[in-house]
Chain A
Amino acid sequence: MLSQIIEEWPRFATYYNLVFIAKAALTTLALSALGCVVGSLLGLALAVTRLTHGPALLPLRLLAIGFTELFRRVPFLVTLMLCFFAFQATGADVPLFVVAAVTVTLIAGAFLGEIVRGGLNAVHRNQWEAAAAMNFSLTETIRYVALPQAWRLILPPAFGFFVMFIKDTALASQIGVVELTFVGKVLNNKGFSAALSFGAILIVYFAISYPLARFGARLEARLASPRHRGA
């Protein structure tokens, strides 16, 4: 296998192929980053919505619960197809990347929302009561008191999710988004061995997710001290 790869290498490592892979890596990175960043914000909004009480915000709460339960239960690929056909039904000429980006954001939002909610729920009840008694609003309580204490509970599962999520963006290849997995298949179809085509892709996936996992581990170590200083 190694000799085959060595034999293939000069034909494989052309400028065109390398740019092809690099562009696909950027697409994967962009999908992952959008999912993680926008998904985190969406997840935070969902978690906060679910912490509200009183009848006025009940519809919003139900919407948040419905959203979370739906997108956590439906398989990634099915959500992707739903988004794909939903955009198609509107008749708008939306780039495939946008369809994939919307899908990953919806899914990441639902999962991260539950991770954030779990972290906030773990903050002791007496912290919420002390804040309420001093006239903190819900958002002020979350910002100044609950989130700073919840980070160390939120970050480990959140980073676990991010790393898993980078791999999940491979499913976007199913609707024709030219991301890493798609490129692996194209190169394989062009006659390069599976070992070389997917081996190259594997290395790029690793190069993206490993630093993220390391960064997560460092953050966790910093937050693992018994006190969790500052916001």
Chain B
Amino acid sequence: MHHLDIAGLDAHYGKMPVLSGIDLTVGRGDIIGLIGPSGSGKSTILRVLMGLLPPSGGTVKLDDEPVNHADRAALRRLRDRIAIVFQQYNLFQNMTVLENVTIAPVKIKKRPRAEVEAEARALLAKVGLGDKLARYPDELSGGQQQRVAIARALALKPEILLLDEVTAALDPELVSEVLDTIRVLAREGMTMLIVSHEMAFIREVASKVVFMADGRVVETGSPAQIFDAPQHQRTRDFVSKILRH
């Protein structure tokens, strides 16, 4: 049984197609690396999965259960199980670090505050921010904010974590602290879909790499297949350009 099964997924921005016939299967504990040029639709897959952009065709199955993104109750159940970390962190500017992490479990999932706060403290300590609980997002560096965003997503206890170019907005010296956090999650067996331009990192952590271009999946394979022996010309061009940098 696949944890997540995407078949023939289409999506449009207005009339412009941004995803065409995406097929992707994700096993439990898989780490999928989504790579490809800008505008190829990598981030759009994550947005469609989260219901932030309605799909215009295709199916998404979670543990073999089809998900209807237009059905609010179904979308709620899906968002209970999948969490996303955004490229721009999207931390709530009016809340402290601790509040950012606890608000959804306490106010939306209605879990006891004391229990949630204890977990949040532990999560924030795990991402190295145990001393920043009372700070506001604009008092933190980009790397710190992104780690808060990861802790916030983990506090929801998701089965699947979507990471949307989480290092793209960071200064180079801050990238490694975020990647280290993701490595820990990978070791713990979290199912993840990672959109990233950090090719060395994708190669290291991904169990499967998906190369996309123009809203389509061009090629899927193990990191070794995609990076060392790509089958398609588009993939070869992309990989050779990336590796030359």
Contact = CB atoms under 8 A, between A and B. Distances in A.
A226 B94 CA distance: 10
Given A126-B86, A133-B83, A133-B84, A226 B107 contact: no
Contacts of A129: 52, 86, 90
A187 B76 CA distance: 65
B136 A135 contact: no
Interface string B43-65: 00000001110000000000000
Contact of A130 (B80, B92, B108): B92
Nearest to A145: B92
Nearest to B92: A145
B138 interface: yes
Interface string B125-140: 0000000000010100
Q: How large is the interface on A (under 10, 10 to 19, 20 to 34, 35 or more residues)?
A: 20 to 34
Nearest to B75: A135
Contact of B93 (A127, A131, A136): A127
Contact of B104 (A126, A127, A134): A134
Interface in A116-155: 126-127, 129-136, 140, 144-145, 148-149
B20 interface: no
B104 A136 contact: yes
B181 interface: no
A147 to B, nearest CB: 9
A140 B108 contact: yes
Interface in A29-71: none
A126 B109 CA distance: 21
Contacts of A75: none
A137 to B, nearest CB: 8
Contact of B80 (A131, A135, A136, A228): A135
Contacts of A134: 79, 83, 104, 108, 152, 156
Contact of A132 (B51, B92, B152): B51
A230 interface: yes
Interface in B62-108: 76, 79-80, 83-84, 86, 88, 90-94, 103-104, 107-108
Nearest to B79: A135
A130 B79 contact: no
B107 A230 contact: no
Interface in A175-231: 226-231
A227 B138 contact: yes
Contacts of B156: 134
A221 B93 CA distance: 19
A140 B76 CA distance: 14
A135 B93 contact: no
Nearest to A148: B94
Nearest to B96: A229
A145 B76 CA distance: 19
A130 B156 CA distance: 13
A148 B136 CA distance: 14
A132 B88 contact: no
**Most chain B C-beta atoms within 10 Å of own C-beta, residue among A131, A132, A134, A140:** A134
Interface of B: 50-52, 76, 79-80, 83-84, 86, 88, 90-94, 103-104, 107-109, 136, 138, 152, 156
Interface of A: 126-127, 129-136, 140, 144-145, 148-149, 226-231
The 10 closest A-B pairs by CB, nearest first: A130-B90, A148-B94, A134-B104, A126-B90, A135-B79, A227-B136, A149-B94, A133-B50, A133-B84, A135-B108
24 contacts: A126-B88, A127-B90, A127-B93, A132-B50, A132-B51, A133-B79, A133-B83, A133-B84, A134-B79, A134-B104, A134-B152, A134-B156, A135-B76, A135-B108, A136-B104, A144-B103, A145-B92, A226-B138, A227-B93, A227-B94, A227-B136, A227-B138, A229-B136, A230-B94
